[in-house]
A and B are shown apart, each in its own frame.
Chain A
Amino acid sequence: MTEPTQIGAVHVAILSFAHSHANGYAGVLNALPDAELVLIADDNAERGRDAAERFGAEFVGDYVEALARDDVDAVVICSENARHAELTLAAADAGKHVLCEKPLATTMEDAQAMIDACARAGVKLQTAFPVRFNAAAVAFRDAIRNGQAGTPLAVIARNPGTCPMGWFVDPDLAGGGAVMDHTVHVIDVLRHIFDAEVTEVYAEADTRIYDIPVDDTGLVMFRMSNGLRGSLDTSWSRPENWPIWGGVEIEVIGEKGALRLDAFNDNLEIAEIDGPSYTWQAVEHSGDPEMVAAFIHAVQHDEPVQVTGEDGMRAMQVALAAYESVRTHEPVEVVTG
């Protein structure tokens, strides 16, 4: 059993450490006064035990057992993408609130089922989009909304990264490659800033860097319901020895000038005689603490989540439309009804 916590603290279980973002979320949960990381469940016992030990939580080897626990109010799901749906449905059935890693799912049917199940059960469903909470991204949003760049005319974005390998390059578990992995963050930020939907997508993608069964190179051209035209490079184009994992860059070109977000640019540059010849150390990057805290706050105070399941589904839908365009070489209309 866990130690008693202060009244009102939200008791959280993390379901699966398949996605390494679980490490960041676990650290945040341990630091938040209003949250208590109760247990870590993982069907990969070695991975789960290791995480439970590192974060001082109980290890449970079975998701059903974890969800049956009365001392768990909410779950954070960091499984492989294709398993988000079954875990979310089970969590909703058990009356647990859900914070689900992005992309929300790998099919529209799964995403809709997750949204419906949580609504029926009266539990909250938040999609984990930490970039929306990144301090620079928040300032970027406010500057655009305040008209610093004038009327927005075009957006040029990219979310390049190193290749995460493992299940991320298994099409059945990940639901795609670089386009699935790196479309949703930027699209979510843009949908949020402009309160607009992506209406049309054209994309090119292929496997050109690694010997893997999914795309590692992707370019998504899109139009939004507010008339904005944009492009998004999703490629896993940073070499494996790149100093950090990648980055999120969004440039909005407006009537009065160009406003540029480079959310992960705040790094120390270090060259060590007895270490790597050149590397970067993040000074201030995340968005994770604010994102997890927002979820905990919503659960604790029974308020609406800031990033909904619908948000997660719409961002994923753009990635799915991009894959359809890659197959057909045609622009694909994105119907959001």
Chain B
Amino acid sequence: MRFAVIGAGGMGRTHVANIAASPDAGVRWVVDLDEALCTAAAKLCGARASTEMDEALGDPEVDAVLIALPTSAHRMATERAAEAGKHVFCEKPIARHVEDAVAMTEACERADVIFQVGHVVRFFPEYARIKQVLDAGTLGQIAMVRTQRRSAPVMERSPWFADLEKNGGIIIDLMIHDLDTLRWYFGDVERVFAHGLSYTEWQQSRDVAMASLRFRNGVIAHLDASWAHGGFYTAIEVAGEKGLLSHNSRKNATLTFESSEGTADKGNIAPQLTFTRPSTFNPYSREVAHFVEAIRTGSPVMTHGAEATRTLALAQSVLDSMRTGRPVVIESNAVATTTA
């Protein structure tokens, strides 16, 4: 399976490395408007480099396109790839606006190409294991679910993260991971209430959001997302009538580093800590392998366009609630299901 990777930023380079290391896929093109970026990434895996997406899309040897562009460019790139008859893997979020997501999904259906969106959390081993535990009924009826997704103030380095119009801010970019995962676990949401900083004067330097979800099956969930912490970690807790499960990427870290530099005169002040969980189970490789398998065998794609559109619609409801200060009742999933 030969890929053209469009976008050689952080996520693009991650995918280039993973695809190049895959036994049944390879990178044929790396495309980026920044010639130095695409050339450097292409050189690592013996691929061709271009600043013109159409050059890669016109190559009949290319089977699939992986889009790792800023969110606002996802629709344009997906539609052009589909028109060129290439299968499409697009990074999350599928788009900034639901109407864009619907158009992308329809374009891929018209062209009869596979379309997957990179909701990678479903491929993280702990979240996949939780899905198994829930489906097995081990915890009985589920009552309360809490998720956390905390990170440093990323907008200080990359201001586009905070661009509410183009990128959607913390809900559309960060909380969407847990919104998608909880939809996967519990199905459709009936009612949303949220608040946070996205529509305050803090939003350009710090953002924190918390959301209350009421699922149609009765589950109550609290999600938080932060760009106001010291480092990245995630956590989830699920409480049911028969038990409780939890995972915290920091508490359950398998490798930590405690820096001694610059601590001599700090007494008992906590040192700089880093928490990691090295794994042979690379979720970013797994999601691309899932995509390659679907192209090869026709197996179903878990995070297909319509599914990602529903997740985006939910994220938009959370954002709407935060903007208006009002609960949002989700009458139906008609917008998304028309494209299912």
Contact = CB atoms under 8 A, between A and B. Distances in A.
B253 interface: no
B229 A208 contact: no
A27 interface: no
B302 to A, nearest CB: 28
Contacts, number: 105
Contacts of B271: none
Nearest to B195: A229
Contacts of B329: 329
Interface stretch (B5-13, B18-26, B160-168, B217-225): B217-225
Contact of A208 (B141, B191, B197, B202): B141
B212 interface: yes
14 contacts: A204-B212, A204-B220, A205-B220, A209-B143, A217-B144, A217-B220, A223-B195, A229-B195, A237-B143, A239-B242, A239-B244, A255-B202, A255-B206, A331-B193
A244 interface: no
A331 B224 contact: no
A125 interface: no
Q: Interface residue tally of chain B, by bracket?
A: 35 or more
Contacts of B230: 257-258
A295 interface: no
B218 A208 contact: yes
A278 interface: no
A126 B226 CA distance: 38
Contacts of A239: 242-244
B228 interface: yes
B283 interface: no
Q: In terms of DSSP, what is the predominant structure of the interface of chain A? A: strand
Contacts of A202: 193, 212, 327
B146 interface: yes
Contacts of A242: 244
A158 B224 CA distance: 13
B240 interface: yes
A327 to B, nearest CB: 13
A156 B218 contact: no
A265 B214 CA distance: 30
A204 B215 CA distance: 11
B325 to A, nearest CB: 7
Contacts of A208: 141-144, 218-220, 241
B305 interface: no
A258 B243 contact: no
B210 interface: yes
Contacts of A217: 143-144, 220, 239
A16 interface: no
A113 interface: no
Given A219-B144, A329-B191, A210 B241 contact: yes
A154 B208 contact: yes
A151 to B, nearest CB: 8
Interface string A193-224: 00000000010111011100000111101010
B212 A231 contact: yes
B277 interface: no
B218 A206 contact: yes
B146 A153 contact: no
A134 interface: no
A258 B222 contact: no
A218 B143 CA distance: 9
Contacts of A237: 143-144, 239, 244
B325 A233 contact: no
